């Protein structure tokens, strides 16, 4: 069952700045005490396997998030949809369109 998500921004928000006022030992101790449960977001937007791809893309854009866990009827994670998936899809569609325009289409 999905209990939370940790984003890259969540990790950055709790990381000491690159020009840290902490000593190296203090930074190691700080990181050792940091647990996922302290930085994860417990309220997570999700989609189902049957969710329309355009609807999922709309959620990513509207909510300004980078991923949507895909959950089944028992709330188990069965996949994840990311903005990278949509960029890859756009690239593939644009490449296919360019090939059609030049008369060279590959299956």
Q: CB under 8 Å to 106, separation ≥6 — which residues?
A: 99
Is the Cβ–Cβ distance between 95 and 88 less than 8 Å?
Answer: no
pLDDT digits (tens, 9 = 90+) for 3-24: 899 888 888 888 776 666 778 7
- pLDDT confidence of residue 82: 96
Residue ranges per structural domain of the chain: 1-44, 46-107
In angstroms, the first-to-last Cα distance of the chain is 39
| Backbone torsions φ then ψ of 82, nearest 5 degrees | -125, 165
pLDDT at 104: 64
Residue 74: per-residue pLDDT: 93
Cα 28 to Cα 33: distance, rounded to the nearest angstrom: 9
Picking from 50, 60, 48, 51, the residue whose alpha carbon sits closest to that of residue 84 is: 60
> What would the two tokens of residue 36 be?
């996922």
What CATH number matches the domain at 46-107, 3.10.580.10, 3.30.70.360, 1.10.10.60, 1.10.3720.10?
Answer: 3.10.580.10
What pTM was estimated for this model as a whole?
0.70
Q: Cβ of 56: how many Cβ atoms within 10 Å?
A: 19
Low-confidence ranges of the chain (pLDDT < 50): none
């Amino acid at each position: 069952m999905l209990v939370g998500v940790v984003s890259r921004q969540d990790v950055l928000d709790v990381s000491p700045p690159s020009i840290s006022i902490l000593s190296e030992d203090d930074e190691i101790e700080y990181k050792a005490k940091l647990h996922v449960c302290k930085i994860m977001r417990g309220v997570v937007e999700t989609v189902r396997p049957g969710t329309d791809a355009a609807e999922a893309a709309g959620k990513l854009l509207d909510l300004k998030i980078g991923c949507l866990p895909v959950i089944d009827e028992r709330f188990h994670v069965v996949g994840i949809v990311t903005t990278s998936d949509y960029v890859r899809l756009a690239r593939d569609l644009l490449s296919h369109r360019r090939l059609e325009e030049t008369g060279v289409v590959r299956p």
